């Protein structure tokens, strides 16, 4: 006699990707169980930035008002400082003719955001089990994924079965690794991020800031309540140099750069310096029989353009209808449905992946980023367009065309 399933769908990971997937599935009438190793609220090393279009998804999930009540910062756009000291500002609200869901992005602590979004999934019927660490993926006699192995806090292992498993478990996805779906790119720079929170940093306004130099880049953004998210991102080659002294490395990075150090006089670091990375991971394809990956578990290249949370929310929203179709259709058609998910995913995010890689390579070669900053500082309409693409409401094709890229990276060299 066949064992009764523990859920139609098991979602591994309760962050934005898992919560968005679970919300959409539960709203469609699917019995979904979310498993997360943490207890919420929980912290997550992240830039904590959400693009303007992320608010559209949060509104659809009926959690945007609660997030606003938590006191997030509203971001008008982004500022980039190039290695040669040139600044370029881009704003979401502009005269380019494109209109985001709202004219600003949000920045909010993950301790606040993730719990609210996960509770949004609970509110429409998703079941959630916290302190449930998934350690392995189970397969049936045909090789199709059929469930997961879960470790309880007291160390007891148990098996849970389902018709489908979603890997929404982040950069080091257990689901992706066990199924050999993810790999680290060999062709693009790999970076490590150090993140901490400060109070009383000077001159932080309504623009998120990225400061690039020859050894990496630095980001700072107001996340509400007088708190600043501060990040240093460096090549993985410097991890050994850093050793166990990540706090000393972090402090020295700021202190050795006068344009940053003066803003931190009197500032107070209120959280530990935490590390995440390496980045430059991808899954091609992001599915196998009985499973699919979403969010950082599927792809994460570099945090510079701030794609993570939006891509997680949008990815879950996209994936759910394909799972519903697979669950309700003939079993022999499942792989065709999942292949269609992969095609839709590439169509949705492919242009952004290209842009992320172009920006990532420019960061590695300061000559090009210096040229870009000069161009963007002289032509604000270009800066606004680029920030709108990064803000997820302007098509990437408008900045990936040869003329725009020439004017961005090459043309300024002829004017100096």
Mean pLDDT of 177-182: 90
- Supply the CATH number for residue 332's domain: 3.50.50.60
Residue for token pair 């060999």: 186
Residues 262 and 285 in one domain: no
Residue of 256, 207, 216 lying closest to 387 (CA atoms): 207
In a domain, 132, yes or no: yes
Residues 115 and 162 in one domain: yes
Residues 272 and 283 in one domain: no
In a domain, 366, yes or no: no
- Cβ atoms 34, 374 nearer than 8 A: no
Note the pLDDT of residue 1: 37
Q: Would you say residue 230 has pLDDT above 60?
A: yes
pTM of the prediction? Answer: 0.94
Residues 125 and 61 in one domain: yes
Spatial CB neighbours of 346, under 8 Å, sequence gap ≥ 6: none
CA contacts within 13 A on the Cβ side of 343: 7
Mean pLDDT of 137-152: 94
Residues 18 and 141 in one domain: yes
Residue for token pair 């502009």: 94
Residues 303 and 288 in one domain: yes
Query: Which tokens sit at 279?
Result: 């980045």
In a domain, 316, yes or no: yes
- Supply the CATH number for residue 216's domain: 3.30.9.100
Residues 224 and 315 in one domain: no
Domain count, the chain: 2
Note the pLDDT of residue 125: 97
Note the pLDDT of residue 142: 92
Q: Which residues pair with 161 in a beta bridge?
A: 147
Residues 118 and 208 in one domain: no
* Final residue belonging to a domain, choices 352, 379, 400: 352
Note the pLDDT of residue 82: 92
Average pLDDT of the residues of the chain = 91
Residue of 345, 344, 336 lying closest to 289 (CA atoms): 336
Q: Between 32 and 214, where is the model more confident?
A: 32
Domain that includes residue 327, residue range = 7-49+56-71+109-185+279-352
* Final residue belonging to a domain, choices 216, 248, 276: 276
Note the pLDDT of residue 258: 95
Mean pLDDT of 201-213: 94
Note the pLDDT of residue 306: 67
In a domain, 399, yes or no: no
Q: Between 23 and 155, where is the model more confident?
A: 23
Residues 255 and 290 in one domain: no
Q: Would you say residue 70 has pLDDT above 60?
A: yes
Within 10 Å of residue 287's Cβ, how many Cβ atoms?
A: 27
In a domain, 413, yes or no: no
Residues 196 and 339 in one domain: no
* Final residue belonging to a domain, choices 259, 276, 293: 276
Q: Which residues pair with 234 in a beta bridge?
A: 192
Q: Between 55 and 372, where is the model more confident?
A: 55
Note the pLDDT of residue 304: 64
CA distance 310 to 297: 14
Q: Between 103 and 238, where is the model more confident?
A: 103
Residues 122 and 242 in one domain: no
Residues 204 and 238 in one domain: yes
Mean pLDDT of 212-234: 92
DSSP state of 205: -
Q: Would you say residue 187 has pLDDT above 60?
A: no
In a domain, 410, yes or no: no
CA contacts within 13 A on the Cβ side of 222: 20
């Amino acid at each position: 006699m066949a064992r009764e399933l523990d859920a139609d769908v098991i979602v591994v990971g309760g962050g934005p990707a898992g919560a968005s997937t679970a919300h959409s599935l539960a709203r469609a009438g699917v019995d979904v169980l979310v498993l997360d190793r943490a207890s919420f609220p929980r912290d997550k090393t992240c830039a904590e930035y959400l693009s303007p279009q992320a608010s559209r998804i949060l509104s659809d999930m009926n959690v945007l008002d609660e997030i606003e009540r938590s006191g997030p910062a509203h971001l008008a756009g982004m500022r980039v400082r190039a290695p040669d000291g040139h600044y370029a500002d881009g704003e979401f609200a502009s005269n380019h003719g494109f209109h985001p869901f709202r004219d600003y992005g949000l920045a909010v602590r993950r301790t606040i955001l993730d719990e609210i979004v996960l509770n949004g999934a609970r509110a429409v019927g998703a079941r959630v089990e916290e302190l449930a660490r998934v350690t392995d993926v189970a397969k049936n006699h045909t090789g199709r994924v059929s469930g997961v192995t879960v470790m309880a806090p007291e160390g007891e292992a148990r098996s849970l079965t389902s018709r489908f498993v979603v890997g929404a478990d982040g950069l080091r996805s257990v689901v992706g690794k066990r199924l050999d779906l993810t790999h680290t790119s060999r062709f693009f720079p790999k970076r490590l991020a150090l993140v901490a929170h400060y109070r009383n940093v000077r001159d932080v306004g309504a623009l998120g800031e990225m400061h690039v130099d020859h050894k990496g880049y630095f980001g700072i953004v107001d996340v509400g309540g007088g708190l600043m998210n501060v990040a240093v991102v460096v090549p993985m080659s410097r991890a050994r140099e850093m050793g166990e002294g990540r706090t000393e490395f972090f402090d020295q990075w700021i202190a050795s750069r006068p344009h940053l150090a003066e803003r931190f006089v009197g500032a107070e670091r209120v959280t530990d310096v935490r590390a995440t990375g390496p980045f430059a991971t991808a899954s091609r394809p992001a599915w196998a029989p009985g499973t699919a990956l979403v969010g950082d578990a599927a792809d994460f290249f570099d945090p510079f353009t701030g794609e993570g949370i939006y891509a997680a929310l949008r990815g879950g929203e996209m994936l759910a209808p394909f799972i519903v179709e697979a669950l309700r259709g003939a079993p022999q058609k499942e792989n065709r449905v999942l292949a269609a998910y992969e095609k839709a995913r590439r169509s949705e995010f492919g242009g952004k992946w290209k842009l992320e890689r172009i920006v990532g390579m420019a960061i590695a070669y300061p000559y090009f980023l210096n040229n870009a900053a000069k161009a963007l500082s002289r032509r604000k309409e270009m800066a606004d367009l680029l920030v709108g693409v990064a803000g997820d409401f302007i098509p990437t094709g408008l900045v990936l065309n040869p003329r725009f890229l020439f004017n961005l990276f090459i043309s300024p060299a002829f004017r100096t």
